[in-house]
């Protein structure tokens, strides 16, 4: 009779039998695990068959590096360098020491890796591995890049190192990879500059926005939002043109300056259509040119093909990529272009103070076009009429009479009034001609009069104080000494009678503070300081009047309350 629980055909019994057989074969040594051999991706010299001790040290170090045992790998490599100075593995061992620091990571380890790579380039500048070392130096800063709204120091260092690699090793096989990394880095830098320029645009600082965005276009033409940056430049120039009305300039100068700024705005819109015809904001540039009554340029076939190829090379950013970008510190380089040549040298940036000086020169040119301190509008390709101004672009002279204000215009409407020097007692005589002044009517308030050569008032040719002057004339008024008032006459009213004294106010009645009768009763307790025995008390207390006063202290206690001390 068979056991129904351990039938040989049951799955449990089969599994147990298989495990027992595997253990028996493994113990017998039939099955064994082979070590995975190194490949050329792990070691460039892995395929070299050699039993030399330096080769054995190098292979052991590479195996430790692959397993993440960086300290052991560095120890073996340093032993190789010190023990076998003439080994053919010297160059690869020194480069591998930098690799151990690079793969270990961390700010201190990456700094040490950079130092090792720089030393390798110094010792072996003409070897193909020198380009690899320079590439890894750039990769150190590429790994430490931050988002565009953060500090761009590492991003700028990565750009410099990649540029140096391309300029120093143009024939290296790593050049295509270095160019793409440089495009990624410049995409992040351009995004950083674009954010700053857009912020200035929202704050109304149009000159600062133009300077940032124009420098961006000149330095990074492969930027994924270059069309939007050019569109903002045109909008900033248009905003400057509309703010000209607030300047203190004549009408003709304002028209010329308005035409200049609107032409610069139109040039920025033209560049969007001509250089980036397949980008999203090309249609917005066409709409703006049509609103300004400007001719819309047609892009060339080469420009259309280049722009389309550039847009197709960019990766599509989906919702998942945006979600990952929110939780990582790394910047996104998916929209970077994969075609085109990155810039290897930065052009001279346009600074905001420089742009401000140029705009001041534009204002001076608008007032005096003949000075030619700014380029005339005829030099622009699409110069046309300014909408609503009645001025064409070729009109660089305008009304000559309105360019500068004459001195006579400042005195218009002031009559024959002239300023005169005031002479003191010791000053030289004033030979200026004075205007006659009509004497005030009797009872009116007199006004100050001009003085003559000696500082006296003149009225109808009669000197002050003369008998021939009428009593009502200002010449008859007494004047103070010239030294006391700088030569000017003292103005005194005709009637110098003193004013009557002010009457004293009526005295107020005495204040009565008596308490009216019929108020609250006042404690009239006996304040006698003698007791029943006839002796005087030092501090007598007033007697308690239960009819008028209330006190819990004098309340009569009953029953058990007598035992309560409170």
Interhelix angle 153-168/175-202, nearest 10 degrees: 140
pLDDT(307) > 90: yes
State how far the Cα of 252 lies from the Cα of 367, in Å rounded to an integer: 8
Structure tokens at 111: 């700094």
Alpha carbon of residue 15 to chain centroid: 72
Answer whether residue 177 shows pLDDT above 90: yes
Ramachandran angles phi, psi of 458, nearest 5°? -115, 130
Tell me the C-alpha distance between 355 and 273, whole Å: 25
Domain ranges across the chain? 53-185, 204-379
pTM of the full structure: 0.59
Task: Please give the average per-residue pLDDT across 50-60, as a whole number.
Answer: 85
Q: Residue 194's closest CA among 174, 175, 173, 217?
A: 217
Say whether pLDDT at 450 is over 70: no
Burial of 416 (0-12, 13-18, 19+ CB in 10 A): exposed
What percent of the chain lies above the pLDDT cut of 90? 44
Token duo for residue 298: 């047609």
The model's confidence at residue 494, banded by pLDDT at 50, 70 and 90, is: low
Q: Please give the full DSSP string across 218-271, using - where no structure is assigned.
A: HH-TT-TTHHHHHHHHHHHHHHHHHGGGGSS--HHHHHHHHHHHHHHHHHHHHH
Residue 422 pLDDT grade (very low, low, confident, very high; cuts 50, 70, 90)? very low
Asked whether residue 165 carries a pLDDT value surpassing 90, the answer given is: yes
Question: Which of 70-84, 353-367, 412-426, 513-527 is the least confident region?
Answer: 412-426
pLDDT at residue 185 is higher than 50? yes
Q: Residue 367: which pLDDT band, with cuts at 50, 70 and 90?
A: confident
The angle that helices 107-123 and 128-143 make with each other, rounded to 10 degrees, is 160
| Per-residue pLDDT tens digits for 478-492 | 444 444 555 566 666
Distance CA 290, CA 483 (A): 76
- Whether the pLDDT of residue 431 is over 60: the answer is no
State the DSSP code for 336. S
pLDDT, tens digit, for every residue of 515-530? 555 555 555 545 455 5
Task: Measure the CA angle with vertex 333, ends 332 and 337; round to 5°.
Answer: 150
- Indicate whether 76 pLDDT > 90: yes
Superfamily of domain 53-185: Tetratricopeptide repeat domain (1.25.40.10)
Q: State residue 65's pLDDT score.
A: 93
Q: Which two tokens stand for residue 496?
A: 């110098």
What is the gyration radius of the CA atoms in the chain, in angstroms?
A: 51
- Phi, psi angle pair for 427, to nearest 5°: -80, 165
160 to 18, 139, 344: CA distances (angstroms)? 63, 11, 9
* CA 261-266-272 angle, 5° bins: 135
């Amino acid at each position: 009779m068979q056991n129904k629980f351990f039938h040989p055909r049951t799955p449990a019994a089969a599994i147990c039998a298989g495990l027992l057989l595997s253990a028996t074969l493994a113990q017998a040594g039939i099955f064994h695990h082979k070590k995975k051999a190194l490949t050329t991706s792990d070691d460039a010299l892995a395929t070299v068959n050699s039993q030399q001790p330096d080769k054995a040290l190098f292979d052991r170090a590479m195996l430790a590096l692959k397993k993440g045992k960086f300290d052991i790998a560095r120890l073996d490599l340093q032993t190789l360098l010190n023990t076998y100075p003439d080994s053919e593995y010297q160059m690869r061992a020194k480069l591998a020491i930098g690799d151990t620091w690079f793969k270990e990571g961390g700010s201190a380890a990456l700094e040490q890796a950079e130092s090792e790579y720089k030393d390798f380039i110094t010792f072996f500048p003409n070897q193909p591995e020198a380009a690899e070392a320079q590439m890894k130096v750039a990769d150190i800063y590429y790994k430490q890049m931050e988002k565009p709204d953060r500090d761009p120091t590492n991003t700028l260092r990565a750009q410099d190192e990649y540029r140096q690699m391309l300029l120093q090793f143009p024939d290296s096989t790593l050049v295509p990879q270095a160019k793409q990394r440089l495009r990624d880095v410049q995409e992040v830098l351009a995004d950083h500059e674009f954010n700053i320029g857009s912020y200035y645009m929202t704050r109304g600082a149009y000159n600062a926005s133009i300077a940032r965005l124009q420098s961006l276009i000149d330095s990074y033409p492969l930027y994924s939002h270059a069309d939007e940056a050019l569109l903002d430049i045109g909008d900033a120039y248009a905003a400057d043109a509309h703010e000209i009305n607030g300047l203190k300039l004549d009408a003709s100068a304002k028209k010329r300056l308005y035409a200049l700024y609107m032409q610069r705005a139109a040039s920025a819109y033209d560049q969007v259509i001509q250089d980036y015809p397949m980008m999203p904001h090309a249609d917005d540039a066409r709409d703006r040119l049509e609103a300004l009554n400007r001719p819309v340029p047609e892009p060339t076939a080469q420009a259309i093909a280049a722009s389309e190829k550039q847009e197709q090379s960019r990766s599509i950013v989906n919702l998942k990529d945006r979600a990952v970008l929110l939780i990582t510190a790394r910047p996104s380089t998916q929209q970077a272009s994969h075609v085109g040549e990155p810039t290897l040298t930065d052009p001279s940036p346009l600074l905001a103070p420089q742009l401000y000086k140029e705009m001041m020169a534009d204002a001076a040119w608008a007032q005096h076009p003949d000075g030619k301190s700014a380029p005339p509008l005829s030099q622009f390709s699409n110069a046309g009429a300014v909408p609503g101004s009645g001025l064409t672009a070729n009109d660089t002279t305008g009304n000559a009479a309105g360019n500068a204000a004459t001195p006579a215009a400042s005195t218009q409407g002031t009559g024959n009034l002239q300023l005169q020097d005031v002479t003191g007692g010791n000053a030289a005589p004033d030979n200026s001609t004075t205007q006659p002044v009509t004497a005030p009517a009797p009872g009116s308030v007199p006004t100050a009069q001009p003085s003559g050569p000696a500082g006296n008032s003149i009225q109808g040719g009669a000197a002050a104080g003369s008998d021939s002057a009428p009593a009502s004339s200002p010449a008859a008024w007494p004047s103070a000494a010239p030294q006391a008032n700088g030569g000017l006459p003292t103005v005194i009213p005709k009637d110098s009678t003193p004013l009557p004294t002010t009457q004293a106010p009526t005295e107020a009645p005495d204040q009565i503070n008596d308490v009216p009768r019929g108020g609250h009763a006042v404690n009239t307790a006996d304040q006698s300081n003698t007791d029943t025995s006839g002796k005087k008390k030092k501090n007598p207390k007033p007697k308690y009047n239960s009819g008028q006063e209330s006190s819990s202290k004098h309340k009569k206690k009953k029953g058990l309350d007598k035992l309560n001390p409170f």
